[in-house]
Amino acid sequence: MKMSNRWNKVIYRVWAPIYDGTVNHIFLPGRKQVFQVADLKPGEHVLLVGVGTGCDLPLLPPDVVVVGIDLSPDMLRKAQQKLPLPGREVSLRQGDAQTLLVDEGTFDVVVFNLILSVIPDGNACLRENLRALKPGGRAVIFDKFAPAGGSISILRQTINIFSTLFGTDITRRLGDLLEGSGMTILKQEDSILGGKYQVILLKRSVDLMDGKAA
Q: Where are the domains of the chain?
A: 5-204
Judge whether residue 208 has pLDDT over 90: no
Would you tell me how many other CB atoms lie within 10 Å of the CB of residue 106? 14
194 to each of 25, 122, 139, 181, how far by Cα in Å? 16, 23, 23, 28
Architecture of domain 5-204: 3-Layer(aba) Sandwich (3.40)
pLDDT of residue 165: 74
pLDDT of residue 156: 87
Give me the amino acid identity at 12. Y
Judge whether residue 214 has pLDDT over 50: no
pLDDT of residue 199: 98
CA distance 52 to 56: 9
For the whole model, what pTM was predicted? 0.91
**pLDDT tens-digit readout, 109-161:** 999 999 999 999 999 999 999 999 999 999 999 999 998 887 888 888 888 77
56 to each of 24, 66, 68, 112, 184, how far by Cα in Å? 10, 11, 10, 11, 24
pLDDT of residue 168: 87
